[in-house]
Amino acid sequence: MTADATHAPDAGGPETDVIETGAFSAADLAADHAMASLAGSVRFLLEMTPVNADDIRARFLADPETDPVFEYRTLDVDPDVLDAQVAALPLDAVTDTTLAALLRNRQREMTLRVEMLRARNTSEFLQLSVAQYGPVLPALVDTADDLLSRLPHGRLERDSVGAEEFLAAAKAEIAHYRSIDPDAQLHAEIRDDVSGVLVEGDTLLISHNAAVAGARVNALLQHEVGTHLVTHVNGLAQPIRMLGAGLAHYDETQEGLAVLAEIACGGLTASRLRQLAARVVAVHALLGGATFVETHRLLTGHGLPAGSAYSVAMRVYRAGGFTKDAIYLRGLLALLEHVAHGGALDLLFLGKFSLEDLPLVQELAERDLLAPARITPRYLSDPESADRLRAAAHADDLVSLVNA
């Protein structure tokens, strides 16, 4: 079944007929919509992001022997209230067994994320993060170490664009999608309380201090806009709106798909692949008890420039130990294996969900419960993208995927 499946509602009939004909019941959709609304009210990544990371950068680089102290915004939500709201979601009323399984898994994850919010910047946070994003297994660390030992290093990308120029490029990319679907909700803005570039909901957030390597602009746009924002738009257009908010453990597949987009558009550089490997090494060091300073020293020893090493370490040590960054490389490897074994990618553009849940989403598509994608990633219109993806899936060495 492809992503061309459509939603075919049934006007009536007993509950068993509703399930057999493929239409969700009103109770099914009510539970899903309530969960999506609640999930959309929490700006999880922003809550995990230090508000002073860019300010501290220069200070730390001038004295890289003292662990930085990060500050965070006041939580937008009361964890106790959010916990009660998650527990009160009406999932017992869901009649579709596949949807019920998907929503129950996400409810458990939401409970864990509430605990992460409650434990932010405390000693309890790290183990909650591992529970959320999984352990970093030796094979992944070995792959990362191998990449860092063989990829060329140094300041390979000297030209860069600032926040305003990147915002203009992002708005041009968004305009492309709006020319296809004028109602698509995609936005981009510059903020002074974020670090780097990230997507939260339907908005691409760009730090006012952002500097993006010129060779990386298109690849980053395909990563953030062409993957994260496109799947958000398509997911919210589904009868199951949690496909827009994200089902359980969607992050790893989303980030893997986003890096795959960088490969497909010919924008994976040696510096970027080194960054992904360095993130794994940094998470492994954190889990081994290393301090921020020790991890920064480890990364510079691997050839990362001091500023890049700071950025990697900051992302990993924020909030008390945020292990999410190990999933980029792990997610990429899983998707390459998926494609190598004949797996298709089309359903993955319908929303945000894990590769593990693909069979369940495919089942819903085969029952005509999913709508077609409103928009598809721009890079797929490039005839060479399919060739690059096939070549990547069958490559024996990740280093061979580097474009420059």
What's the pLDDT at 17?
33
* CA 205 – CA 187 distance, rounded (Å): 9
User: Percentage of residues in the chain with pLDDT exceeding 70?
Assistant: 93
Q: Check whether 20 has a pLDDT greater than 70.
A: no
* For residues 93-109, average pLDDT: 98
In the beta sheet, which residues pair with residue 162? 211
Residue 344 CB coordination number (10 Å)? 13
Q: How confident is the model at residue 2 (pLDDT cuts 50, 70, 90)?
A: very low
What's the pLDDT at 158?
64
At 362-392, the pLDDT tens digits run 999 999 999 999 999 999 999 899 999 999 9
DSSP state of 25: P
User: Percentage of residues in the chain with pLDDT exceeding 90?
Assistant: 89
DSSP 3-state of 100: helix
Which of 250, 185, 244, 254 has the alpha carbon at shortest distance from 37?
244
Q: How confident is the model at residue 19 (pLDDT cuts 50, 70, 90)?
A: very low
What's the pLDDT at 304?
95
At 234-255, the pLDDT tens digits run 999 999 999 999 999 999 999 9
User: Which residue reads 């894990």 in tokens?
Assistant: 354
What's the pLDDT at 159?
83
Does residue 122 contact residue 131 with C-beta atoms inside 8 Å? Answer: no
* CA 308 – CA 295 distance, rounded (Å): 12
* For residues 334-359, average pLDDT: 97
HSE of 337 in the Cβ direction (CA atoms, 13 Å)? 8
Instruction: Choose between 54 and 169: higher pLDDT.
Output: 169
Q: Check whether 116 has a pLDDT greater than 60.
A: yes
In the beta sheet, which residues pair with residue 160? 213
Q: What are phi and psi of 46, to 5 degrees?
A: -65, -40
What's the pLDDT at 199?
94
Q: Give the torsion through C-alpha atoms of 193, 198, 203, 206, to 10 deg.
A: 50
* For residues 63-75, average pLDDT: 95
Does residue 312 contact residue 304 with C-beta atoms inside 8 Å? Answer: yes
Q: Check whether 16 has a pLDDT greater than 60.
A: no
What's the pLDDT at 155?
54
Predicted TM-score (pTM) of this structure: 0.91
Q: What are phi and psi of 213, to 5 degrees?
A: -55, 135
At 178-217, the pLDDT tens digits run 999 999 999 999 998 888 999 999 999 999 999 999 989 9
Residue 286 CB coordination number (10 Å)? 24
Q: Check whether 3 has a pLDDT greater than 70.
A: no
* CA 72 – CA 51 distance, rounded (Å): 5
Query: What H or E segment, with its residue span, contains residue 189?
Result: strand 187-191
* For residues 224-236, average pLDDT: 97
Residue 192 CB coordination number (10 Å)? 11
Both tokens of residue 76? 């937008």
What's the pLDDT at 193?
87
Q: How confident is the model at residue 403 (pLDDT cuts 50, 70, 90)?
A: confident
Q: Check whether 297 has a pLDDT greater than 70.
A: yes
* CA 158 – CA 214 distance, rounded (Å): 8
Mean pLDDT over each residue of the chain, to the nearest integer:
92
Both tokens of residue 400? 């061979």
Q: What are phi and psi of 200, to 5 degrees?
A: -130, 110
Q: How confident is the model at residue 154 (pLDDT cuts 50, 70, 90)?
A: low
